[in-house]
Structure 1
Amino acid sequence: MSDAAKKKTGKGELRETIVIIVQALLIALVFRTFAFEPFSIPTASMQSNLMIGDYILASKYSYGYSRYSLPYSEVPWNGRIMGNAPQRGDIAVIRPVPQSENYVKRVIGLPGDEVQMIDGRLTINGETVPREEVGTTVDRDSTGVDIPVTEYRETLPNGVSYVTQEISDNAQFDNTGVYTVPPGHYFMMGDNRDRSLDSRSLSSVGYVPFENFVGKAQWRFFSIQDNIPPWQIWRWPGNVRFDRMFTSVYQ
């Protein structure tokens, strides 16, 4: 083969490689924009269901699409298309109105609901949500502070059941007034009740508009202790929580 032919072949292979890379990047962008987006869990607010260092995939299509579902929320577009209403008990990625970053919380109150905390007990529309004590454990927050907690299995009116954690029944948001959820909004709470900043704080999170839902949390695909960066592969031994990988967030 002549030098000219070799150069032509080399250019053709380089062009083909570039095309493959561009196609792969486009597929990844479309996947992230319209199908699933990864998120990390940096705080203790959803423990022990979602632990610090869990990495999850949230489905964009579950609730339809708004500007908060897109990679750039600054897009001048209001409303939601192909929207499916969140269900009570869903774990959702949201963008609270006063905040500039995403939160992960559980849907507790639907539009029109009346939600209140009385002595650490959740009430919805005047009815106390059943809870059953399941044991005690130690909860560690993002600063490494360990606190004994009691775990309860809480069951919402639609039958969705999950485990909550309480340091006590007399913490800051364990006794509140009645929150009346406005039309088109949702009341969100963390499962780690005394270590969660959520809709109970109207000034920090408050009622979340449907438009501000990013996606529905679906699966854990990776989990590592103490927020260790996942690229530090040499620290994986003894720190990766293999039993939490590739599992549903609703287990």
Structure 2
Amino acid sequence: MAAKTEAGNPIIETIKTVVYAILIAGVFRTLFFQPFWIPSGSMKDTLLIGDFLFVNKMAYGYSYASCPTVKMPRFGIDIDAEDICGFIKGDNNRILGGDPERGDVVVFRHPVSGADFIKRLIGLPGDEIQMKDSVLYINGEAVGLEDGGQFEEIFTAQGPEGLYPRCENGPVGEGALCTKSRQIETLPGGVQHDILNITRQASDQTPIYTVPEGHYFFMGDNRDNSTDSRVPQAIGGVGFVPYENIVGRADRIMFSSAGRSMLFFWTWRSDRFFKRID
């Protein structure tokens, strides 16, 4: 007579399944890719508010910043990467480390606040970086610039935070056309990308910044609407970013929504699905 197999407790089995799924997702996120939503317009028009992408953590190897940060205030969950991997922070090294390249779009942890930022890598260790009359100079040479026409968008609240864009064509009303000047910038090494300009401001005219060894200099493509390395950390900016603070490289947009929720399917930008990031 065959032995009778006892069925497991369905509640226990469900809990085990959920725990295993969380563990697998945690390992996947820690070692390979981290999801990232674009919350602000600092990287327009390369990245728009509401773009969703996966950050490639394998591109530059692993550091304490590679550990996941999980913040769910509604459930009282606030786990930072330093809470998990802070014991390896401070040596400014990486495991299986690779060197970022000028022009890469990179996610990194702010050196002071620990918040995740996404910007373009402009300055490598030892470089001299300066803005003069809205033109970027690297090691004393102006980058190449070509006219890229106008960037146009509707002046309306964007994304979950309801942010309004800044417009070069002055204050405009709700639903009106908001424009910015667009140029195509060519960095040393040949990487080309769009940049936007809105007005003349302090960040268009800077001193010379010499990037320290083991650090990097980042800027947003939406040059007049970006908090980045042009502003020192002491006065609320990003300053120089240590090598160990880099999370990974952004390679491709997977999904994009212009609305306040990804569930608003009528606001999906299907032309941006699986779009390569240059």
| TM-score scaled by length of structure 1 | 0.88
How far residue 206 of structure 1 moved from its aligned partner, in angstroms, is: 0.1
In structure 2, what is the equivalent of residue 242 of structure 1?
A: 270
Distance 1:110 1:146, change over 3 A: closer
Structure 2 residue corresponding to 1:100, chosen from 70, 91, 114: 114
* Runs of 5+ unmatched residues, structure 2: 69-80, 168-178
In structure 1, what is the equivalent of residue 58 of structure 2?
A: 61
SS at match of 1:86: coil
How far residue 12 of structure 1 moved from its aligned partner, in angstroms, is: 7.1
How far residue 191 of structure 1 moved from its aligned partner, in angstroms, is: 0.2
Paired amino acid for 2:277: V
CA distance in 2 between partners of 1:184 and 1:100 (Å):
18
How far residue 171 of structure 1 moved from its aligned partner, in angstroms, is: 1.8
Paired amino acid for 1:167: I
Query: Which has the higher mean CA deviation after the structures are superposed, 78-87 or 209-218?
Result: 78-87
SS at match of 2:101: coil
1:26-83 C-alpha deviation (Å, 9 max, x unpaired)? 2211110000000111111000111001111101111111111102223211232111
CA RMSD, 1 decimal: 2.1
1:198-244 C-alpha deviation (Å, 9 max, x unpaired)? 00001220000001001111221111114x222xx2x212x011111
Contact 1:99-1:205 at 8 Å conserved across structures: no
1:150-199 C-alpha deviation (Å, 9 max, x unpaired)? 1111011111111010113x222111110100000000000000000000
CA distance in 2 between partners of 1:145 and 1:55 (Å):
19
Q: Matches of residues 48-197 of structure 1 in structure 2 within 5 Å?
A: 48-71=45-68, 72-74=81-83, 75-78=86-89, 79-138=93-152, 143-147=163-167, 148-168=179-199, 170-197=200-227
SS at match of 1:29: helix
CA distance in 2 between partners of 1:98 and 1:13 (Å):
46
Contact 2:228-2:239 at 8 Å conserved across structures: yes
In structure 1, what is the equivalent of residue 28 of structure 2?
A: 31
Paired amino acid for 2:33: F
Contact 1:68-1:213 at 8 Å conserved across structures: yes
CA distance in 2 between partners of 1:155 and 1:145 (Å):
25
| TM-score scaled by length of structure 2 | 0.80
CA distance in 2 between partners of 1:12 and 1:145 (Å):
54
* Runs of 5+ unmatched residues, structure 1: none
Contact 1:68-1:212 at 8 Å conserved across structures: yes
Identity among equivalent positions (%) equals 42
Distance 1:157 1:81, change over 3 A: same
